[in-house]
Amino acid sequence: MKRSNIQEFNQIKLSGADETDKLFKKFKLTTFLNQTGIVKEKGHRIEKLIFIMLLIMLEDSRSLFQGMAKMFSTKYKTPVNDFLNNKNYNWRNFLYKIAKRSQDLFCARSNQENMLIFDDTSKKKTGFKIEYLSWFRDHCKNKYFKGFQMIVAAQFNGKSINPIDFELKIGKQATKNSKRKKYPKKSHLEQRVRFAKQKKTEIVLQMLKRAVQRKFDFRYILWDSWFNCNLILKYVFQVLKFKNIDLISMVKRGNKKYKFGDNFYTIKELYRKAGRWHRDSVSGIKHKPIFVWVLDVDSKMKTSERDILGQIKLCFYKYPDVKKFKVIMSTNLELSEMEVLEKYLCRWAIEVMFRDMKQYFGYDQNKASKYSAQIADFTIRCVFYIMFNYRKEKEPQSSMYQVLLKFKTDLFESLLDRYVKLCIIKRFKEILYYAKDLGYTQIDELIKDSDDVLELFFKCDVPIDKIQEIDNPKFSKVA
């Protein structure tokens, strides 16, 4: 295909398609953008710029600018950068509305108990003069990296998981060339920066409170042992238990003491007190429970004088051929040990979400150095993930890659069909004008009405009996 033809086809791409229009309308994208104040007074509409980011994501370009260059649309670079860097856009509220919409669409077809899952993943960044760039430690690889920590809250309904909130955590240990820019007070970005500088446990607690205030539907909270702290456990026992919301979490084998009977014991001591093992007949997993009381470590210095927050069920597990035991706590005392384990294993869904975001949704596609652009970019990636998760629910046997591939194929086929029609119209008009130059004067009216005639022509169906085989065409001799 010639360069000019590629440019023409890319213009068709950027004009939009019915597939994306239906998807955007299903999630009320335009309505929620207007309600959250994410609008532009002049220039390209926000929906148009988001559609361009969707095309670049589907093309799997290395960066936003490379994707625009491939589509011969570098004129959109400045508009895209301007709307991503706007410090007053409330991206958190926009994601909440999309997530709330997804809850209405997803839960209507699901009878599973909803869960709210918290976890973090690395957001590595390299380069000079990146705002708030910090050093973090990857505990899985036991290495330090430059970038941010992405703390995400996601809602799981038993089939699909959707991000509802996130925080791009800023570390205390800044890198050599990082900027610590100050944004105007009371702006949305200044608030995000202030929240992102807090501890992980404080960030998770705020995200949990916002999810409750926004009335998201969830029965259980799942997270790793990193988020178990006295401040969060207080909120769980004093607020969430009265709302019939329970916590299921991994527990560290540390020196923290729990009350059992009239005495106080650590996890290792409670492991011996729990009694004998029970073996699951299907999986072969050994398990044993013990009921203990959680203490308020902030109330008194002495362990014996501390207040009691609430009762929990500690479940000990041993997998086949594994020596070390694992401990999971549950504030729902009625669940059996295997039910507690089954629900906690649902936490793996957020790891699958992280993998899909990094592989298929352009997690590292934005190379911007500004903190505001990274917040806006990841919000839009989360919106794309929610939308395609909705399409995936209609095709439960398909993977996320297959869903994206099918959508891309259908989208490009419809765009190619539109491009071919426009090429035919263009060539048809050239033929008519050529005929007129040759002296045919009775086709002016046809040229004038050619668009309407061709539109009717493409809409009409070709009868089966009019279709002829052309493998061995037979031409009649001209007399």
Same-domain status, 153 and 129: yes
Q: Does residue 477 fall inside a structural domain?
A: no
Classify strands 246-250 and 220-223 as parallel, antiparallel or unpaired. parallel
Write out the two tokens for 19: 């597939």
> What is the reported pLDDT for 441?
65
Q: Does residue 152 fall inside a structural domain?
A: yes
Q: Does residue 460 fall inside a structural domain?
A: no
Give me the tens of pLDDT residue by residue for the chain, a chain 479 residues long: 555 556 665 665 666 667 788 889 999 999 999 999 999 878 888 998 998 899 889 888 888 888 888 877 888 889 999 999 998 899 999 999 999 999 888 754 444 578 999 999 999 888 778 888 888 888 777 888 888 999 999 999 888 899 999 999 998 888 877 777 777 887 888 899 999 999 999 999 999 999 999 999 999 999 999 899 999 999 999 999 999 999 999 999 888 999 999 999 999 999 999 989 999 999 999 999 999 999 998 877 788 889 999 999 999 999 998 889 999 999 999 999 999 999 999 999 999 999 999 999 999 888 888 999 999 999 999 999 999 999 998 888 889 999 999 988 888 887 777 777 777 777 777 766 666 666 666 667 666 766 766 666 666 554 444 434 434 443 333 33
Is 75 within 8 Å of 69 (Cβ atoms)? no
Span 166-222, pLDDT tens digits: 999 998 888 877 777 777 887 888 899 999 999 999 999 999 999 999 999 999 999
CATH (domain of 141): 3.90.350.10
Q: Does residue 363 fall inside a structural domain?
A: yes
Residue with tokens 């991994």: 250
Same-domain status, 73 and 99: no
Same-domain status, 319 and 426: no
* Separation between Cα atoms, residue 88 and residue 379, nearest integer Å: 15
Distances (CA, A) of 392 to 160, 164, 253: 9, 18, 39
> What is the reported pLDDT for 11?
63
Nearest to 385 by CA among 211, 163, 216, 207: 163
Same-domain status, 159 and 131: yes
> What is the reported pLDDT for 474?
38
Same-domain status, 113 and 174: yes
Q: Does residue 468 fall inside a structural domain?
A: no
Q: Does residue 470 fall inside a structural domain?
A: no
Q: Which domain holds residue 385?
A: 91-394
- The per-residue pLDDT of the chain, averaged, comes to 85
120 by DSSP, 3-state: which?
strand
The pTM (predicted TM-score) of the whole model is: 0.86
Same-domain status, 379 and 420: no
- Dmax over CA atoms of the chain, in Å, equals 115
Q: Does residue 183 fall inside a structural domain?
A: yes
Span 165-181, pLDDT tens digits: 999 999 888 887 777 77
Same-domain status, 225 and 338: yes
Residue with tokens 């532009």: 40
> What is the reported pLDDT for 84?
92
The distance from CA 138 to its chain's CA centroid, rounded to whole angstroms, is 22
Same-domain status, 74 and 148: no
> What is the reported pLDDT for 456?
65
* Separation between Cα atoms, residue 251 and residue 215, nearest integer Å: 28
Span 355-383, pLDDT tens digits: 999 999 999 888 888 999 999 999 999 99
Residue with tokens 């052309």: 470
> What is the reported pLDDT for 471?
41
- Identify the H or E element spanning 196: helix 188-196
Phi/psi at 235 (nearest 5 deg)? -65, -35
Same-domain status, 180 and 136: yes
Same-domain status, 172 and 116: yes
Same-domain status, 296 and 369: yes
Same-domain status, 418 and 360: no
Name residues whose C-beta falls within 8 Å of residue 460's C-beta, 6 or more positions apart in sequence.
none
- The count of domains in the chain is 3
